[in-house]
Amino acid sequence: MRSYLLVLLLAASVTYLTVPVVRWFALRWHVLAEIRDRDVHSTPIPRLGGVAVYLGFVAAMLLASRMPLLSPMFTESRDVVGVLVGASLIFLVGVADDVWGLDAITKLAGQVVAAGVMVVMGVQLLWLPIGGVLSLDFNTSVILTVLVVVVTVNAVNFVDGLDGLAAGIVGIGALAFFAFSYLLSVERGIDRAMTATLLTAALAGICAGFLPHNFNPARIFMGDSGSMVIGLLLSASVITLTGKIDPGSLVDSSGGRVSWLPAFMPLILPFAILAVPFADLLLAVVRRTRAGRSPFAPDKQHLHHRLLEIGHSQRQAVIVMYLWAAAVAIGAAMTAFTNATLGIVVGLTIAVLAVLATRWRPAEVPS
């Protein structure tokens, strides 16, 4: 655990300390998020915050490669290197979009290439808990892996519409997934040097280091160079965890069957973590398609926009979204390792708070 905490702290520190430098360069080079109809900020804000995000991730991986517990992941497997290459490619695509602007098809192509490179380097889904254990053939594995990466990247990108929203939601999800991955290795006797645990520790640190600069009022935006990187890291955590687990370790010795909860949870939890962004993504695609527009055409009808419309401030809307994300992520993670009833109760309790926060309106101050 100490090794992972050091990785988390270094990722947070490097990200936090490099943001001001990146912001200075963004201002100097005039890389700013201009005001558009769908935006909620009223003045141009520097972007390219993804540079600090990427540097925090690279620093965390360099530290991990020098640590006795974690270094075997860099020598005995190509998973971490594959994720590093994929993250680097999608980071470059994001930087190009932040600086010059890319059309949706070009960005999608970049995401597919980054995911494809990870697949070539061995980062791919190998099995699904369907009808016991369903081993995936190569073509199916490639398609599903690329799909998981692309959908997750775009879900995070879609939700990055308010100050601190993407960093906070992904940070909450990364912590929940880190806890799940680490406890799974302890309880199932799996090697604790797991790529998924390392990636989520680094991801939680990155989000924690970036959030103080990005929470309302934001001094910098992460841009696509940041949102696509953290989306890729979260999806890579899912994929590498399923590749690390031996399906045989999930067999219930009393009945000879695969225990459905730990078998499904590596796939369920990440989607539970991003339930809010995924729901927003699905609604946006349906909404735009029904209107005869491209699914990638921007609008101002995302969930966070609707919270603003009903009277919440930016900070209040972000906190409401945090609560919804925490209700699902924490409830799902607890269900996997505690009494299922307790996990459901905790999740529902946070969900009730989220409902109350959603419906709450601040009293108007008399003029």
Q: Is the previous residue joined to 295 through a cis bond, with omega within 30 degrees of 0?
A: no
Which tens digits make up the pLDDT trace of 299-327? 666 776 677 777 788 888 899 889 988 88
Neighbours of 300 (CB within 10 A): 15
What's the pLDDT score for residue 364? 45
Q: CA nearest 268: which of 194, 343, 323, 195?
A: 343
CB 328 within 8 A of CB 272: yes
Neighbours of 197 (CB within 10 A): 30
CB burial class (10 A; 0-12, 13-18, 19+) of residue 164? buried
Which tens digits make up the pLDDT trace of 62-114? 999 999 999 999 998 889 999 999 999 999 999 999 999 999 899 999 999 99
Is 70 exceeded by the pLDDT of residue 15? yes
Give percent above pLDDT 70 in the chain.
Answer: 82
Rounded to an integer, what distance in angstroms lies between the CA atom of residue 316 and that of residue 183?
A: 33
What's the pLDDT score for residue 256? 43
Q: What is the mean pLDDT of residues 174-202?
A: 86
What is the phi-psi region of residue 132: left when phi exceeds 0, alpha when psi lies from -120 to 50, beta otherwise?
A: left
Q: CA nearest 202: which of 74, 14, 72, 75?
A: 14
Rounded to an integer, what distance in angstroms lies between the CA atom of residue 264 and that of residue 54?
A: 31
What's the pLDDT score for residue 199? 97
For residue 45, give the H/E element and its range: strand 45-46
Is 60 exceeded by the pLDDT of residue 267? yes
Is 70 exceeded by the pLDDT of residue 130? no
Rounded to an integer, what distance in angstroms lies between the CA atom of residue 281 and that of residue 276?
A: 9
Q: What is the mean pLDDT of residues 230-239?
A: 92
Sorted by where each begins, the domain ranges of the chain are: 2-248
Q: Which residue has the higher pLDDT, 42 or 289?
A: 289
Q: Is the previous residue joined to 217 through a cis bond, with omega within 30 degrees of 0?
A: yes
- The tokens 């009277």 sit on which residue? 311
Of the ranges 154-158, 254-258, 353-357, which one carries the lowest mean pLDDT score?
Answer: 254-258
Is 50 exceeded by the pLDDT of residue 188? yes
Q: Which residue has the higher pLDDT, 141 or 247?
A: 141
For residue 144, give the H/E element and its range: helix 138-159
